[in-house]
Structure 1
Amino acid sequence: MKQPLRGISPLSFYGSAIISIGLIIYASLAPDAAATLFEQANNWIILEAGWFYLLAVGGFVIFLLFLAISPLGKVRLGPDDAVPDYSYSTWVAMLFSAGMGIGIVFYGVAEPIMHFSAPPDAPARSAQAARDALEITFFHWGVHAWAIYAVMGLVLAYFGYRKGEPLVIRSAFRPLIGDKVNGPIGDVIDIFAVVGTLAGLATSLGLGVAQLNATGAYLFGLPQNLETQLILIGIVTILATTTVATGLDNGIRRLSEMIIIVSFVLMFLILALGPTRFLLQALVENIGLYLNGFVARTFHIYAYEPTDWVGTWTLFYWGWWISWSPFVGLFIARISRGRTIRQFLLGVLFAPAGFSFIWFTIFGDVAIWLDLNVAHGSIATTVTENMPIALFTVFEYLPWSTFLAWLTGLLVAVYFVTASDAGALVIAMITSRGEEEPVLWLRIFWALVCGAVAACLLLAGGLGAVQMAAVIAALPLSIVMVLMCYGIWKALNDEVALIASARLQPAPLIPNEAARFWRRRISAIISHPDRRQVDNFIASTVKKAMETVAAELEQPAHIEAHIDNSEEGLRLTINHGDIAAPFVYEVRPVSTPIPAFVLAGPARDGAPRNRYFRAEIFLARGGRGYDIYGYATDQVIADIINHYDKHQYYMALTDSRGKP
């Protein structure tokens, strides 16, 4: 019985599973009562906490822009010598496919035409309504949306790759609550992340199945009803469950690049077949309108003229993005190792948002132009009555409508399966405390739960219930994200002192001895050791070095030093009482992919391993990102003492400035 449950974080897994399965059972057995409960909770949040959503998202934007332009923007998400894993174009493609895929297809026509026909601040179907429609759509899908994702992604990437923490949200709270993140408090934080991700994923799957159903209705005459949508969710869940074993990176890179190409082909065709000059002019004006209203709309909650519009649109979007952020944040953290904070933020905030602006201009403005000049209001009427079929209504007024519909169906289908697959894998990672390759049964379990939650929310009120679930789940998660901002701010301020102490270059302890070990180091560099070899190195060479240093400190200097086998590796702790923070020097076996050029070489023919282990150094404030496997005992001693010397200098700096 123990074997199947290996590889989970018990409290976060069982807590998340109980909440999820409880929701499934409740929504299945009492759909009407569930719909009423969702509606009441949603209305309360909009009335009582809507201001907090707008303030929090506005604060995220300000905070991230400040980080991007500050000297802290030079800090790298990983060791100082790390390089990005992906080219910039591939990285941007993967960002976009993770964050917005299904949504822009569903809302590409629907949102602008809805704001045009029922605007919040202008006469319906007027020129001002058309301008406002695109400005509002840009606002909902632009920098603010990606700021929410960027907060989560930045925090996870910084603590995961710079500090060596697990890739889970609890890691951001270590500067605030210390080692308590490893206990029940951290588990509760992860439960919030899982429940929020499920709600965000259910929203995306609900929109996706509605769009997929509309595609089937247009191409094959499938009925547009709840039964068809539940069948489609079942099919996609089976596909996601089948493919979830491939992991987060396998295939998603190529799918992302392919989908971006298909998206550009679809946009180009609409641009060429529609009113091209008008669309190009509109893009320029839309960007200006967006920039002009950027600050005003950020904090515009209609306090002086209360309206349901802000809850139906802006607060729904902010809730969706927040609840979806653990998935997208973890995904973009995984693909962003090696970039600086400035590169990360400028890329995440502006590149996918720019793509969205082009998409919504082409699809939204062509719908408005056709509705005014050709359709004479029928597009707006159809969208109001049946939002998922909005895009196909526009195709009816363009050449090659069937081909365009097939392209759209391809986009939706791939986005749908990929989102479900990757979302389930991310939840599995959270409930296994950041394991990059969670056990297979855990991935399959969450793939099934994701599909079941989406189906049950559709049963309990259709697409409206799915959208309300995102707004509800986002409230506790938004509070967590505000605290995460404080956590990374505290850690980055501490980074200033760490960087200053790292500049200290003490004289080498054994200037002439290192040459004796160069053959051993070459062997270590090219051997790519397995876990057993690294464990033996730590248990022998590293332990002997730590014991030597500890004995030297304890006997003449009477400084307390002790060695412990931690959960991750072997740790030397040097205590200074209440005067200063303890010095920690820990060596952990860290699993790392074998470089592709090594795997392709003749030495790896036969049955190649995909990963090897490094003996990496971790100090009290995170990993240093280098490998000491193959060091001799004297070299390990020298490394410990050099870091201890820098620790003393760091403590002197923080004492002179006040605690960071």
Structure 2
Amino acid sequence: MNQIKKAGTGVMLLPVFVPTAVITLLLIIGTLSNPELAGKAFQGALTWITNTFGWFYMLATAVFLVFLVCIGFSRWGNIRLGADHGDPDYSFPAWFAMLFSAGYGIALLFFGVAEPVLHFSQPPSATPETINAAREAMQIAYFHWGLHIWGIYGLMGLVLAYFTFRHGLPLSVRSALYPLIGDRIHGPIGHTVDVFAILGTLFGLATTLGLSVTQINAGLHYLWNDIPISTTVQITAIGLITLAAIGSVVAGMDKGVKNLSILNMGLAVFIMTIVFFVGPSIHILDAFVQNTGAYLSNIVERTFNLQAYTQSDWIGNWTLFIFAWTIAWAPFVGLFIAKISRGRTIRQFIFGVLAVPTIFTFLWFSIFGDTALHLIMEEGKSVLIGEVQADHSVALFQFYDLLPGSTFLSVVTVFLIITFFVTSSDSGSLVVDSLASGGALETPIWQRVFWASLEGVIAATLLLAGGLSALQTMSILAALPFAIIMLIAAAGLWRALVIEGHRGAAVEAAATPTRAFSNEGNWRKRLSTLFKFPGEAKVTHFIKEVVEPAMVEVQKELAVHGWNANITREDNGVTFQLERDDKLDFYYQVLATEHEIPEAHSENSKYDTHWQADVYIRNGALGYELFGCSQDEVIRDLIDQLEQYFNFVDAAPGHLPWNTVSD
């Protein structure tokens, strides 16, 4: 029987789903049965992890950032995350909006005022409530939410995007280990990696959702005093907003997450603009420039500062928590960023992920944090310090109370927090579902609904067990094993890039473009194709009725010689793939693609575009098409490319150890 496959939707992998579900349910049941005991256990675990592995979190975070920057500046930066001919799936504004919304929009709303004020009143080294304390507070905030955060996200995103869109491996964390362990990623090792990734994502999301509902509760109480600040209100909010997230999950990536993310960015910029103009605008700009310079000057020292000679809880409550929370979130944000980054080069990806969000973050903290410190130091609004110390979640709303139009800003902010909540929950559900389904890009709706619901249940359970302290503990615990996985993934990416560097140019040089028309009596036929501009229907019909049967004939003949080839039918084309256990796979694809009518012929055509049956190999288009060829001529072209493939691969000195296919 001919092996012609058509991609379908992914279903849950039981070896991944069952352990994840069991561990999560045991945690939920155990916590609900004795919340007080669970809270004490979480606190003890937090202390032990912080004291024992604090150095590891800091060192790993530094390695991630340095590794990413080195890759960005290397010759590998020109490699495209996908086929060489591909374009980005999303425009830059839409791409940035989605990665920002999924990344840490909620965190900026929660910490934008609270962190600078808290560090100003209780700095780790400076005298409290002084100019030096203000400087240190802003430098710490920049450090916590700057390049290091996006280095963590960026590394995970790059690893996943590279192996998925460049090498055709599943969009799953396990794929990063392929250069190191090969096909064993599909066994117990791969399942274990994905289980840790899902658990880290679930607990990282729970922390974020917990932060958001406490802030929503504070905002509602500020606007309407009859609404109390209580766990009951917060859990109710989790339930209601999770329902909204489920609606977005059902809508999918383009209709749900993308549109919500663009709305989030618009509202965030709107709020920033208002605060900038009603606040000390010139001071904000001065502080932004000065703080950025101080951040860059001290980045190395702060990266490795663990307060080894002045032991305190500060490092664990702040730096380690934020970095560990980010690592726990890395599979979620990284996979999500990878999913929306197909078509970008590695250099575009790295510096887009590092630079743009970091600059936006610095502006955010300058506008909100420096304005808050200016109100305290220059206008005597020191009451803000006590209010923030009493409840971090009210910081932003108490800050608004000191500005004109506070009620309007609070209403818009509450709405923004809700939309960030929904965006994080639904994008997180899409990611977790993909991980639990072996990296499938499309999955059944019920699976996404299940994960969205479970995220809400986890967040509510941890709030019952001790509020933000329990959420903080679970993030740090979940981050420990995943930090190790990320280091291994970085090694896998490095090995893959080294291999690609050795073989990339040689593979393309071996696959020289040819024309499928034979040279015997068909020159008139070849010339006639120069004046044919078929539509999509004709080209797709040609691929189905001529190209695919030609591939089937070659597939049958190869089977006679003991070679296993697969043919995969897609909506706009067909792919022929010869699988090799220990070599580079052969990959030959014919796609129906749209092109502009050549200018010389545009006046004689009533259409602006036409369609071609373009030929692609591993890394992109070969520069010719097949429309108008006979079945024998398509077979001849396929065999020509196959012959060039064998000449290169089987003559290569054994440095092509693992399969590589384009998306």
Q: Under TM normalisation by the shorter chain, which class is it?
A: 0.7 to 0.9
Aligned residue number for residue 96 of structure 1: 100
Q: How do residues 154-193 of structure 1 correspond to structure 2 at under 5 angstroms? A: 154-193=158-197
Compared CA separation, residues 404 and 596, structure 1 to 2 (3 A): farther
3-state SS, counterpart of residue 55 of structure 1: helix
- Cα displacement string for residues 3-33 of structure 1 (whole angstroms, at most 9, x for unaligned residues): xx97221211122111222221111112122
| 1:84 is aligned to 2:88 | yes
3-state SS, counterpart of residue 306 of structure 2: coil
Aligned residue number for residue 638 of structure 2: 639
Give the TM-score normalised by structure 2: 0.86
The code of the aligned residue for 2:196 comes to: F
Aligned residue number for residue 203 of structure 1: 207
1: CA distance between counterparts of 2:98 and 2:184?
A: 34
3-state SS, counterpart of residue 80 of structure 1: coil
Contact 2:583 2:656 in 1 (8 A): no
Aligned residue number for residue 115 of structure 1: 119
Q: How do residues 23-172 of structure 1 correspond to structure 2 at under 5 angstroms? A: 23-172=27-176
Compared CA separation, residues 633 and 388, structure 1 to 2 (3 A): farther
Contact 1:617 1:628 in 2 (8 A): no
2: CA distance between counterparts of 1:588 and 1:504?
A: 17
Q: How do residues 240-639 of structure 1 correspond to structure 2 at under 5 angstroms? A: 240-501=245-506, 502-506=508-512, 508=514, 512=518, 526=537, 540-549=549-558, 561-563=563-565, 571-573=577-579, 581-582=582-583, 584-585=585-586, 632=631, 634-636=633-635, 638-639=637-638
1: CA distance between counterparts of 2:621 and 2:468?
A: 46
1: CA distance between counterparts of 2:355 and 2:400?
A: 29
- Cα displacement string for residues 572-628 of structure 1 (whole angstroms, at most 9, x for unaligned residues): 3468xxxxx4453357999x9x9999xxxxxxxxxxxxxxxx999787xxx768999
- Cα displacement string for residues 364-409 of structure 1 (whole angstroms, at most 9, x for unaligned residues): 1111111223344211111111110011111121111111111211
Compared CA separation, residues 440 and 500, structure 1 to 2 (3 A): same
The code of the aligned residue for 1:22 comes to: L
2: CA distance between counterparts of 1:444 and 1:461?
A: 27
Which of 232, 238, 247 is equivalent to 1:233?
Answer: 238
Aligned residue number for residue 610 of structure 2: none
2: CA distance between counterparts of 1:215 and 1:393?
A: 9
Contact 1:156 1:330 in 2 (8 A): yes
Aligned residues: 621
Contact 1:208 1:412 in 2 (8 A): yes
Contact 1:34 1:460 in 2 (8 A): yes
Moved more, 347-356 or 306-315: 306-315
Compared CA separation, residues 570 and 396, structure 1 to 2 (3 A): same
Aligned residue number for residue 20 of structure 1: 24
How far apart are residue 534 of structure 1 and its match? 8.1
Moved more, 628-637 or 140-149: 628-637
Moved more, 257-266 or 387-396: 257-266
Moved more, 454-463 or 260-269: 260-269
How far apart are residue 633 of structure 1 and its match? 5.1
The code of the aligned residue for 2:205 comes to: L
Contact 2:503 2:656 in 1 (8 A): no
How far apart are residue 174 of structure 1 and its match? 1.2
**Structure 2 unaligned blocks of 5 or more:** 1-8, 597-612
Compared CA separation, residues 308 and 567, structure 1 to 2 (3 A): farther
How far apart are residue 358 of structure 1 and its match? 0.5
How far apart are residue 93 of structure 1 and its match? 2.0
| Two-structure CA RMSD over aligned residues (Å) | 3.3
3-state SS, counterpart of residue 118 of structure 2: helix
Contact 1:156 1:171 in 2 (8 A): yes
The code of the aligned residue for 1:116 comes to: F
2: CA distance between counterparts of 1:311 and 1:194?
A: 24
1: CA distance between counterparts of 2:439 and 2:488?
A: 20
2: CA distance between counterparts of 1:450 and 1:615?
A: 44
Compared CA separation, residues 339 and 562, structure 1 to 2 (3 A): closer
How far apart are residue 139 of structure 1 and its match? 0.6
Give the TM-score normalised by structure 1: 0.86
Contact 2:558 2:564 in 1 (8 A): no
Contact 2:583 2:657 in 1 (8 A): no
How far apart are residue 497 of structure 1 and its match? 2.2
How far apart are residue 509 of structure 1 and its match? 8.2
How far apart are residue 639 of structure 1 and its match? 3.2
Aligned residue number for residue 609 of structure 1: none
Contact 1:26 1:34 in 2 (8 A): yes
How far apart are residue 485 of structure 1 and its match? 0.7
1: CA distance between counterparts of 2:442 and 2:171?
A: 12
Contact 2:182 2:658 in 1 (8 A): no
The percentage of counterpart residues that share the same residue type is 38
3-state SS, counterpart of residue 561 of structure 1: coil
Q: How do residues 2-17 of structure 1 correspond to structure 2 at under 5 angstroms? A: 7-17=11-21
Compared CA separation, residues 625 and 427, structure 1 to 2 (3 A): farther
Compared CA separation, residues 336 and 574, structure 1 to 2 (3 A): closer
Moved more, 244-253 or 119-128: 244-253
- Cα displacement string for residues 156-183 of structure 1 (whole angstroms, at most 9, x for unaligned residues): 1111111122211111111111111122
**Structure 1 unaligned blocks of 5 or more:** 555-559, 576-580, 598-613
3-state SS, counterpart of residue 344 of structure 2: coil
1: CA distance between counterparts of 2:655 and 2:201?
A: 43
- Cα displacement string for residues 453-507 of structure 1 (whole angstroms, at most 9, x for unaligned residues): 0000111111110111111101111111111111111111111123221123558
Moved more, 114-123 or 31-40: 31-40
Moved more, 325-334 or 204-213: 325-334
Contact 1:168 1:190 in 2 (8 A): yes
How far apart are residue 249 of structure 1 and its match? 2.4
Contact 2:85 2:620 in 1 (8 A): no
Contact 1:153 1:333 in 2 (8 A): yes
Compared CA separation, residues 493 and 654, structure 1 to 2 (3 A): farther
Compared CA separation, residues 78 and 659, structure 1 to 2 (3 A): closer
Aligned residue number for residue 602 of structure 1: none
How far apart are residue 237 of structure 1 and its match? 1.4
Compared CA separation, residues 565 and 527, structure 1 to 2 (3 A): closer
How far apart are residue 635 of structure 1 and its match? 2.7
3-state SS, counterpart of residue 586 of structure 2: strand
Compared CA separation, residues 543 and 280, structure 1 to 2 (3 A): same
* Deviant stretches of 4+, over 6 Å: 517-524, 533-539, 564-570, 587-590, 594-597, 614-619, 625-631, 656-660
Moved more, 188-197 or 81-90: 81-90
Aligned residue number for residue 5 of structure 2: none
